Structure 1
Amino acid sequence: MSFKFEKLNIWQKSMDLAEEIHELSKEFPKEEIYNLTSQIRRAVDSIALNIAEGSIGQTNPEQVRFIGYSLRSLAEVVTCLYKAKRRKYIEDSEFKKHYSECFNLMNMIIGFKNAIK
Protein backbone atom coordinates (compact mmCIF):
# COMPACT_ATOMS: atom_id res chain seq x y z
CA MET A 1 0.00 0.00 0.00
CA SER A 2 1.32 3.44 -0.92
CA PHE A 3 0.22 6.91 -1.82
CA LYS A 4 0.07 7.82 -5.50
CA PHE A 5 2.79 10.47 -5.18
CA GLU A 6 5.32 8.00 -3.75
CA LYS A 7 5.60 6.40 -7.18
CA LEU A 8 6.33 9.70 -8.92
CA ASN A 9 9.95 10.10 -9.97
CA ILE A 10 9.67 13.86 -9.52
CA TRP A 11 8.60 13.38 -5.90
CA GLN A 12 11.46 10.96 -5.23
CA LYS A 13 14.02 13.28 -6.85
CA SER A 14 12.67 16.29 -4.95
CA MET A 15 12.98 14.35 -1.69
CA ASP A 16 16.63 13.57 -2.51
CA LEU A 17 17.33 17.19 -3.42
CA ALA A 18 15.81 18.37 -0.14
CA GLU A 19 18.16 16.19 1.88
CA GLU A 20 21.19 17.38 -0.10
CA ILE A 21 20.26 21.04 0.31
CA HIS A 22 19.56 20.56 4.00
CA GLU A 23 23.07 19.13 4.46
CA LEU A 24 24.58 21.93 2.36
CA SER A 25 22.82 24.62 4.39
CA LYS A 26 24.32 23.28 7.63
CA GLU A 27 27.55 24.93 6.48
CA PHE A 28 25.98 28.40 6.21
CA PRO A 29 27.02 30.88 8.92
CA LYS A 30 24.98 30.87 12.14
CA GLU A 31 23.94 34.46 11.42
CA GLU A 32 21.93 33.12 8.45
CA ILE A 33 19.89 30.59 10.49
CA TYR A 34 16.73 32.73 10.42
CA ASN A 35 17.31 34.09 6.94
CA LEU A 36 18.94 32.23 4.05
CA THR A 37 19.26 28.87 5.81
CA SER A 38 15.60 28.86 6.79
CA GLN A 39 14.48 30.14 3.38
CA ILE A 40 16.34 27.55 1.30
CA ARG A 41 15.18 24.71 3.57
CA ARG A 42 11.53 25.76 3.43
CA ALA A 43 11.67 26.25 -0.33
CA VAL A 44 13.32 22.90 -1.07
CA ASP A 45 10.92 21.03 1.22
CA SER A 46 8.01 22.79 -0.46
CA ILE A 47 8.83 21.17 -3.81
CA ALA A 48 7.99 17.63 -2.64
CA LEU A 49 5.17 18.84 -0.39
CA ASN A 50 3.36 20.50 -3.30
CA ILE A 51 3.86 17.51 -5.59
CA ALA A 52 2.33 15.30 -2.90
CA GLU A 53 -0.52 17.69 -2.15
CA GLY A 54 -1.39 18.06 -5.83
CA SER A 55 -1.53 14.30 -6.34
CA ILE A 56 -4.42 14.06 -3.88
CA GLY A 57 -6.50 16.59 -5.81
CA GLN A 58 -9.72 15.65 -7.47
CA THR A 59 -9.13 17.52 -10.71
CA ASN A 60 -6.31 17.91 -13.22
CA PRO A 61 -6.35 21.73 -12.98
CA GLU A 62 -5.82 21.39 -9.24
CA GLN A 63 -2.85 19.05 -9.76
CA VAL A 64 -1.39 21.34 -12.41
CA ARG A 65 -1.71 24.28 -9.99
CA PHE A 66 0.25 22.47 -7.26
CA ILE A 67 2.90 21.36 -9.76
CA GLY A 68 3.24 25.06 -10.60
CA TYR A 69 3.81 25.81 -6.92
CA SER A 70 6.57 23.21 -6.83
CA LEU A 71 8.26 24.90 -9.81
CA ARG A 72 8.09 28.26 -8.03
CA SER A 73 9.69 26.72 -4.95
CA LEU A 74 12.42 25.25 -7.12
CA ALA A 75 13.11 28.72 -8.53
CA GLU A 76 13.42 29.97 -4.94
CA VAL A 77 15.98 27.26 -4.20
CA VAL A 78 18.04 28.28 -7.23
CA THR A 79 17.94 31.92 -6.15
CA CYS A 80 19.06 30.94 -2.65
CA LEU A 81 21.93 28.96 -4.17
CA TYR A 82 22.98 32.08 -6.08
CA LYS A 83 22.86 34.11 -2.87
CA ALA A 84 24.93 31.49 -1.03
CA LYS A 85 27.51 31.53 -3.82
CA ARG A 86 27.67 35.34 -3.92
CA ARG A 87 28.12 35.45 -0.15
CA LYS A 88 30.85 32.82 -0.47
CA TYR A 89 29.04 30.26 1.71
CA ILE A 90 29.46 27.61 -0.99
CA GLU A 91 32.15 26.88 -3.54
CA ASP A 92 31.48 27.27 -7.25
CA SER A 93 31.68 23.48 -7.70
CA GLU A 94 28.94 22.96 -5.08
CA PHE A 95 26.82 25.61 -6.74
CA LYS A 96 27.20 24.01 -10.17
CA LYS A 97 26.35 20.54 -8.84
CA HIS A 98 23.15 21.65 -7.11
CA TYR A 99 22.20 24.04 -9.91
CA SER A 100 22.43 21.15 -12.37
CA GLU A 101 20.26 18.96 -10.14
CA CYS A 102 17.68 21.74 -9.89
CA PHE A 103 17.72 22.27 -13.64
CA ASN A 104 17.19 18.56 -14.31
CA LEU A 105 14.39 18.38 -11.75
CA MET A 106 12.76 21.46 -13.31
CA ASN A 107 12.71 19.76 -16.70
CA MET A 108 11.23 16.60 -15.19
CA ILE A 109 8.52 18.57 -13.39
CA ILE A 110 7.66 20.54 -16.53
CA GLY A 111 7.46 17.30 -18.49
CA PHE A 112 5.12 15.84 -15.88
CA LYS A 113 3.01 19.02 -15.86
CA ASN A 114 2.66 18.90 -19.66
CA ALA A 115 1.72 15.22 -19.54
CA ILE A 116 -1.15 15.76 -17.07
CA LYS A 117 -2.64 18.87 -18.74
Structure 2
Amino acid sequence: MDKKGGFGHTKMIVWQEIDKLDTIVQDILKYIPRGEYKTRSQIDTASDSIGSNFVEGYYSGSLGEYIRFLRYSKRSNGELHERVRRIFRKKYIDQKIFDKFEDNCIRVMYLIDRTIQSLENKRNQEKNKK
Protein backbone atom coordinates (compact mmCIF):
# COMPACT_ATOMS: atom_id res chain seq x y z
CA MET A 1 0.00 0.00 0.00
CA ASP A 2 1.10 3.56 -0.55
CA LYS A 3 1.36 6.22 2.16
CA LYS A 4 -2.32 7.11 1.83
CA GLY A 5 -3.44 3.52 2.38
CA GLY A 6 -4.17 2.83 -1.30
CA PHE A 7 -2.54 0.66 -3.87
CA GLY A 8 -0.43 3.10 -5.89
CA HIS A 9 0.55 0.58 -8.53
CA THR A 10 -3.02 0.56 -9.88
CA LYS A 11 -2.59 4.17 -11.01
CA MET A 12 0.30 3.26 -13.30
CA ILE A 13 -0.52 2.85 -17.00
CA VAL A 14 1.83 -0.13 -17.25
CA TRP A 15 -0.06 -1.99 -14.53
CA GLN A 16 -3.43 -1.07 -16.07
CA GLU A 17 -2.26 -2.57 -19.38
CA ILE A 18 -0.99 -5.68 -17.58
CA ASP A 19 -4.41 -6.03 -15.96
CA LYS A 20 -6.13 -5.56 -19.33
CA LEU A 21 -3.88 -8.24 -20.84
CA ASP A 22 -4.86 -10.67 -18.08
CA THR A 23 -8.54 -10.01 -18.82
CA ILE A 24 -7.94 -10.83 -22.49
CA VAL A 25 -6.08 -14.00 -21.49
CA GLN A 26 -8.93 -15.12 -19.23
CA ASP A 27 -11.25 -14.85 -22.25
CA ILE A 28 -8.79 -16.80 -24.41
CA LEU A 29 -8.63 -19.62 -21.86
CA LYS A 30 -12.31 -20.34 -22.55
CA TYR A 31 -11.42 -21.37 -26.12
CA ILE A 32 -8.82 -23.95 -25.14
CA PRO A 33 -10.25 -27.47 -24.87
CA ARG A 34 -10.59 -28.79 -21.31
CA GLY A 35 -8.32 -31.69 -22.20
CA GLU A 36 -5.48 -29.22 -22.76
CA TYR A 37 -5.14 -28.72 -19.00
CA LYS A 38 -1.36 -28.24 -19.05
CA THR A 39 -1.56 -25.61 -21.80
CA ARG A 40 -4.37 -23.77 -20.01
CA SER A 41 -2.44 -23.83 -16.74
CA GLN A 42 0.80 -22.61 -18.33
CA ILE A 43 -0.94 -19.69 -20.04
CA ASP A 44 -2.82 -18.72 -16.88
CA THR A 45 0.36 -18.94 -14.79
CA ALA A 46 2.41 -16.85 -17.24
CA SER A 47 -0.29 -14.18 -17.33
CA ASP A 48 -0.57 -14.15 -13.54
CA SER A 49 3.22 -13.87 -13.19
CA ILE A 50 3.36 -10.66 -15.21
CA GLY A 51 1.15 -8.79 -12.77
CA SER A 52 2.35 -10.54 -9.63
CA ASN A 53 6.00 -9.79 -10.31
CA PHE A 54 5.19 -6.19 -11.18
CA VAL A 55 3.38 -5.68 -7.88
CA GLU A 56 6.02 -7.53 -5.84
CA GLY A 57 8.74 -5.34 -7.30
CA TYR A 58 6.72 -2.15 -6.88
CA TYR A 59 6.31 -2.75 -3.16
CA SER A 60 9.81 -4.13 -2.56
CA GLY A 61 11.13 -0.82 -1.26
CA SER A 62 14.28 -1.15 -3.35
CA LEU A 63 14.95 0.26 -6.80
CA GLY A 64 17.16 -2.71 -7.66
CA GLU A 65 14.51 -5.20 -6.59
CA TYR A 66 11.83 -3.33 -8.53
CA ILE A 67 13.95 -3.51 -11.69
CA ARG A 68 14.68 -7.20 -11.09
CA PHE A 69 11.00 -8.07 -10.73
CA LEU A 70 10.11 -6.00 -13.79
CA ARG A 71 12.53 -8.19 -15.72
CA TYR A 72 10.67 -11.25 -14.43
CA SER A 73 7.43 -9.65 -15.66
CA LYS A 74 9.02 -9.06 -19.04
CA ARG A 75 10.12 -12.70 -19.33
CA SER A 76 6.66 -13.91 -18.34
CA ASN A 77 5.14 -11.64 -20.97
CA GLY A 78 7.41 -13.19 -23.60
CA GLU A 79 6.47 -16.68 -22.44
CA LEU A 80 2.78 -15.78 -22.53
CA HIS A 81 3.05 -14.49 -26.09
CA GLU A 82 4.72 -17.68 -27.27
CA ARG A 83 2.16 -19.94 -25.59
CA VAL A 84 -0.82 -18.01 -27.00
CA ARG A 85 0.84 -17.95 -30.44
CA ARG A 86 0.94 -21.73 -30.29
CA ILE A 87 -2.75 -22.06 -29.46
CA PHE A 88 -3.49 -19.68 -32.33
CA ARG A 89 -1.47 -21.96 -34.60
CA LYS A 90 -3.57 -24.90 -33.36
CA LYS A 91 -6.64 -22.86 -34.37
CA TYR A 92 -8.13 -22.71 -30.87
CA ILE A 93 -8.54 -18.94 -31.34
CA ASP A 94 -9.16 -16.91 -34.48
CA GLN A 95 -7.11 -14.09 -36.01
CA LYS A 96 -9.22 -11.32 -34.47
CA ILE A 97 -8.77 -12.65 -30.92
CA PHE A 98 -5.06 -13.25 -31.47
CA ASP A 99 -4.54 -9.76 -32.90
CA LYS A 100 -6.24 -8.16 -29.90
CA PHE A 101 -4.07 -10.24 -27.57
CA GLU A 102 -0.88 -9.56 -29.49
CA ASP A 103 -1.45 -5.81 -29.68
CA ASN A 104 -1.87 -5.64 -25.92
CA CYS A 105 1.04 -7.99 -25.29
CA ILE A 106 3.33 -5.78 -27.39
CA ARG A 107 2.09 -2.68 -25.56
CA VAL A 108 2.79 -4.33 -22.18
CA MET A 109 6.31 -5.29 -23.28
CA TYR A 110 6.97 -1.73 -24.42
CA LEU A 111 5.67 -0.22 -21.17
CA ILE A 112 7.65 -2.64 -19.02
CA ASP A 113 10.79 -1.79 -21.03
CA ARG A 114 10.16 1.95 -20.62
CA THR A 115 9.61 1.52 -16.88
CA ILE A 116 12.86 -0.43 -16.55
CA GLN A 117 14.74 2.25 -18.53
CA SER A 118 13.27 5.01 -16.39
CA LEU A 119 14.19 3.24 -13.14
CA GLU A 120 17.70 2.45 -14.38
CA ASN A 121 18.17 6.14 -15.26
CA LYS A 122 16.96 7.09 -11.79
CA ARG A 123 19.34 4.59 -10.19
CA ASN A 124 22.26 5.93 -12.25
CA GLN A 125 21.42 9.51 -11.25
CA GLU A 126 21.36 8.48 -7.60
CA LYS A 127 24.77 6.79 -7.99
CA ASN A 128 26.22 9.91 -9.63
CA LYS A 129 25.07 12.07 -6.70
CA LYS A 130 27.19 10.05 -4.28
Q: How well do the aligned residues superpose, as a CA RMSD in angstroms?
A: 1.1
Provide the identity percentage.
30
Q: How many residues align?
A: 116
- Calculate the TM-score normalised by the size of structure 2: 0.84
Partner of 2:21: 17
Structure 1's unaligned 5+ residue stretches are none
Larger Rg: 2
Distance between the aligned counterparts of 2:41 and 2:26, measured in 1? Answer: 10
Deviates more, 1:96-105 or 1:65-74: 96-105
Aligned-pair CA distance for 1:114: 0.5
Aligned-pair CA distance for 1:52: 0.4
SS of 1:31's equivalent in the other structure is coil
36, 51, 54: which is aligned to 1:48? Answer: 51
Partner of 1:114: 117
The answer to whether the 8 Å contact 1:78/1:102 transfers is yes
Alignment of 1:1-117 (within 5 A): 1-33=5-37, 35-117=38-120
Q: C-alpha deviations, 1:42-61, integer Å up to 9, x for none? A: 11111111110001112211
Distance between the aligned counterparts of 1:7 and 1:93, measured in 2? Answer: 29
